[in-house]
Amino acid sequence: GAGVSQSPSNKVTEKGKDVELRCDPISGHTALYWYRQRLGQGLEFLIYFQGNSAPDKSGLPSDRFSAERTGESVSTLTIQRTQQEDSAVYLCASSLGLAAQGPQYFGPGTRLLVL
Amino acid sequence: SQKIEQNSEALNIQEGKTATLTCNYTNYSPAYLQWYRQDPGRGPVFLLLIRENEKEKRKERLKVTFDTTLKQSLFHITASQPADSATYLCALYNFNKFYFGSGTKLNVKP
């Protein structure tokens, strides 16, 4: 079916506001991943889900970040009390089967700007 | 934790030549190592995956090697074309986390 989709594509918010980013993986993909990419830098792993479970949440930068996945489908990444340092592109990816054993298919990303 | 090192300097080569990109990692060897291509403003696109028991993997003009003794993977593009110009990322999985290198930018000049 269709590829990984993310919404919104762009988000501008004020410092201190909460934002919610959404990822719709490829249908049937059991693994889902979130990354952050600051301008001109590499991908920073945040969290991954196998089904609806996240084996390890220690990659999240702070307790202002949280993520959930329901129905082995859509996932949301929530950033509370946003800071300017949160400005980045947030990328979501999904893969078939067990994580790490196959290619990840990336969405176009959500570009977040915190003023 | 795991660290991945890719040459941060851009690699400039002439069309038709072979491009060779390097990915070095520290600590534990992963079961799988992956290579991706990223174009400006886009998400990475998967290219090749190599397992720890595989020395070499090929796909069309692409070749990846994996040396767990050296803790290194090499990525080759033969007969390079200007359309191959992009940033190439290596990635591996250890202990419930995924690690991506910062990428090497390849410029293929006509």
> Any idea which of A55-69, A78-92, B76-90 has the lowest mean pLDDT?
A55-69
How far is it, in rounded angstroms, from Cα A46 to Cα A92? 10
Nearest CA-CA partner of A2 in A110, A109, A105, A111: A105
Residues of B in contact with A5 (CB under 8 A): none
| Phi and psi angles of residue B15, each rounded to the nearest 5 degrees, phi first | -50, 140
Predicted local distance difference test score (pLDDT) of residue A99? 66
Are B100 and A59 within 8 A, CB to CB?
A: no
> DSSP label at A53?
B
Per the document, the length of chain A is 115
Give the nearest chain A residue to B48 (CA atoms).
Answer: A103
Predicted local distance difference test score (pLDDT) of residue B3? 83
Closest partner residue to B43 (CB to CB) among A41, A55, A109 is A109
Predicted local distance difference test score (pLDDT) of residue B105? 96
User: Closest approach of chain B CAs to the CA of A89, in angstroms?
Assistant: 9
Taking residues B40-49, report their average pLDDT: 92
Query: What part of B 51-110 touches A (C-beta under 8 Å)?
Result: 89, 91, 93, 95-103
B29 CB within 8 Å of a chain A CB: no
Taking only the tens place, the pLDDT of each residue in A26-79 is: 999 999 999 999 988 889 999 999 899 988 888 899 999 999 999 889 999 999
Residue B77 clears pLDDT 60, i.e. is over it: yes
Closest partner residue to B96 (CB to CB) among A55, A91, A109 is A55
Burial letters for B30-69: b for 16+ Cβ neighbours within 10 Å, e otherwise?
Answer: bebbbbbbbeeeebbebbbbbeeeeeebeeeebbbbbeee
How far is it, in rounded angstroms, from Cα A5 to Cα A9? 9
Percent with pLDDT over 90 in chain A: 78
Are the C-beta atoms of B46 and B57 separated by less than 8 Å? no
